[in-house]
Amino acid sequence: MAIFLTGSTGYIGAHIASNLLADHREPLNLLVRARDEQEGRERLWRSLQLHMDFPQFEDVLHSRIRIFLGDITSSRFGLEDAKYAQLVRTTDSVIHCAASLNRKSEKMCLNVNLRGTLEVVQLAMRARDQHGLRRFSHVSTVAVAGHRKDEVVEEDTAIDWNRSDYDPYARTKKFCEHMVHQLLPDVPRTIFRPSIVLGDSRRPETNQFDMVRAFVFLAGLPALPFRAADKIDIVPVDYVAAAVATLHQKEKPKHEIYHLSSGAGSETFVQLTDALAAAQGKRGPTYVPSLEGPSSAMINALAGRAGKKIGGLATLLKVFLPYLVWNTVFDNARVVSEMGSKPAPFSQYCFPLLKFSRETKFSYPYRAWPAVSAEAHS
Ligand SMILES: NC(=O)c1ccc[n+]([C@@H]2O[C@H](COP(=O)([O-])OP(=O)(O)OC[C@H]3O[C@@H](n4cnc5c(N)ncnc54)[C@H](OP(=O)(O)O)[C@@H]3O)[C@@H](O)[C@H]2O)c1
């Protein structure tokens, strides 16, 4: 029997897959979008090469991984009947990590997050009805808490249906949690809500640059339109992946919902800029909170309109801005108690991440699929 994991070609999903492969024993059923088997293997190698070399990858590919070529927005993932039956038969727990993080697109969020999650829940129901389902873990987000200001949010009170959401991503992820809760009442469920997942506290390398780009841009400004003492809840991906893998595999996690976040230990803007300034031997920026209004007006005006580079960056900043100025953190006492450790503070690993991202010009130096192995598979 295997763990069915969606989103393994993405940033967090690949970290979860690698953690499960390294620290646990179960085989993995992985849903991968690709036209054929070889493209599926190559896409998986791209996402997992941050974690292992090619011989290790080939080893787990043959011994622990079964790839299902499918899309969560298609009925039964678009799999042939025999393949879908095999997926149901061999799945005894689910980690649903795939999502659209496209905060601007109602359509993408509706299709991938809502229709896609419903499809994954239906797979879980079929496995439950056939042979029982050990656990359904859903990777959600702290964005489900909606509009907030100067708060410490706890797990059980985060969802408030009377509150507005910042974007379609937050709105659809909120309903996904509801769907999982309503449609799988008799299955052990775990909801994981990461905060801003930025970098890996063990290494400078990353292959996801969206949020990093915004961070590097802001880190280079001489003046920032924020309040210096506002907190920002950032969590490293290694902590998130370890928590998802460990709690998913626990027989009885203590809670149904976990914030995977830095909580009260979140750092302030000025703590982060001081750490960066010290690492670079420079002066830190000036904080001018009164610039927040004019800055967001400028960002809104530039987003999607100016040249590709500036417009793209402005669009990025526009979607992330609400999460930078809300001065809201997410209580992490549950996960800290259950994992026995806290996430590393961002100030400890932000400079290596900044340096790596600048040096590689925000692009990971992917290694291609080796030619010898390609012959063996053809
Ligand atoms: N990154 C963060 O800061 C953050 C914070 C809080 C919560 N989260 C949550 O963490 C999860 C993973 O986020 P991430 O940052 O790792 O995102 P990501 O790198 O964009 O990965 C998204 C994954 O979902 C897959 N996917 C998207 N549409 C799909 C479809 N139609 N069918 C099958 N698979 C599909 C992608 O497959 P392809 O490779 O084929 O596109 C990819 O594997 C999401 O649920 C997100 O809401 C992320």
Question: If the chain, 378 residues long, is cut into consecutive pieces of 10 residues, what is the mean pLDDT of each piece?
Answer: 98 98 95 98 98 97 98 98 98 98 94 98 98 98 97 98 96 98 98 97 95 87 91 98 98 98 97 94 89 71 64 74 93 98 97 95 95 62
199 Rama sector, left if φ>0, alpha if ψ -120 to 50, beta otherwise:
left
* Distance, CA of 50 to CA of 208 (rounded, Å): 11
Q: How many Å apart are CA 240 and CA 343, to the nearest integer?
A: 9
Q: Whose CA is nearest to atom 32 of ligand 1?
A: 71
- 13 CA: nearest ligand 1 atom: 16
Token pair of 340 as six digits: 């026995």
Ligand 1 center–CA 10 separation, angstroms:
5
Distance 196 CA to ligand 1 centre (A): 14
Which residue CA neighbors atom 1 of ligand 1 most closely?
197
Q: DSSP character for 79?
A: -
What spacing in Å lies between the alpha carbon of 276 and ligand 1's midpoint? 29
Q: What is the DSSP string of 320-356?
A: HHHHHHS--EE--HHHHHHHTSPPPPHHHHHHHHHHH
Ligand 1 closest atom vs CA 73? 31
Sign of the CA dihedral running 27, 235, 133, 174: negative
Q: Output the six-digit token pair for 357.
A: 């991202």
d(CA 127, CA 124): 5
Q: Are 45 and 369 in contact (CB under 8 A)?
A: yes
Note the helical H segments in 94-250: 106-108, 116-131, 168-183, 210-219, 237-249
Output DSSP code: residue 204: S
Cβ atoms of 260 and 138 within 8 Å: the answer is no
Integer angstrom CA distances of residue 241 from 47, 223, 244, 299, 378 = 14, 34, 5, 33, 33
User: Residue whose CA is closest, atom 44 of ligand 1?
Assistant: 99
- The closest alpha carbon to 22, from 52, 49, 45, belongs to 52
Do 311 and 134 contact (CB within 8 A), yes or no?
Answer: no
Rounded Cα–Cα distance for residues 20 and 299 (Å): 40
Q: Which residue minimizes the CA distance to atom 3 of ligand 1?
A: 197
Phi, psi (deg, nearest 5) at residue 292? -60, -45
Query: What pLDDT score was predicted for residue 147?
Result: 96
What's the pLDDT at 219? 86
Say which DSSP state 114 is in: I
To test the ligand 1 pocket, which listed residue (46, 67, 97) has its Cβ within 8 A of the most ligand atoms?
Answer: 97
Q: Report CA(216)–ligand 1 centroid distance (Å).
A: 22
Q: Which residues line ligand 1 (CB under 6 A)?
A: 6-7, 9-13, 31, 33, 71-73, 97-101, 112, 116, 139, 141, 173, 194, 196-197, 208, 211
For tokens 């390398």, the residue is: 205
Say what angle helices 11-23 and 37-48 make with each other, to 10 degrees. 80
* Whole-angstrom Cα Rg for the chain: 21
* Phi/psi-derived region of residue 267, left when phi > 0, alpha when psi is between -120 and 50, beta in every other case: beta
What's the confidence (pLDDT) of residue 303? 67
What is the Å distance from ligand 1's center to 7 Cα? 5
Amino acid at 245: A
Greatest CA separation found in the chain?
63
Pocket test for ligand 1, best of 47, 76, 101 (most atoms within 8 A of CB): 101
DSSP E strands in the chain: the ranges are 2-6, 28-32, 65-69, 91-96, 135-139, 152-153, 189-194, 196-197, 223-224, 231-232, 234-235, 257-260, 267-268, 286-287, 329-330
190 bridge partner residues? 137
Specify the residue with its C-alpha closest to ligand 1, atom 40: 33
Q: Point out the ligand 1 atom lying closest to the alpha carbon of residue 98.
A: 24
What is the best residue among 5, 19, 32, 33 to mutate for testing ligand 1's pocket, by most ligand atoms within 8 Å of CB? 33
**Beta pairing partners, 96:** 6, 138
Helix (H) or strand (E) holding 226: none
C-alpha 99 to ligand 1 mean position (Å): 4
What was the pLDDT predicted at 321?
A: 85
Q: What is the DSSP letter of 73?
A: T
Q: What is the DSSP-derived secondary structure letter of residue 304?
A: T
Q: Is 223 exposed, middle or buried (0-12, 13-18, 19+ CB in 10 A)?
A: exposed
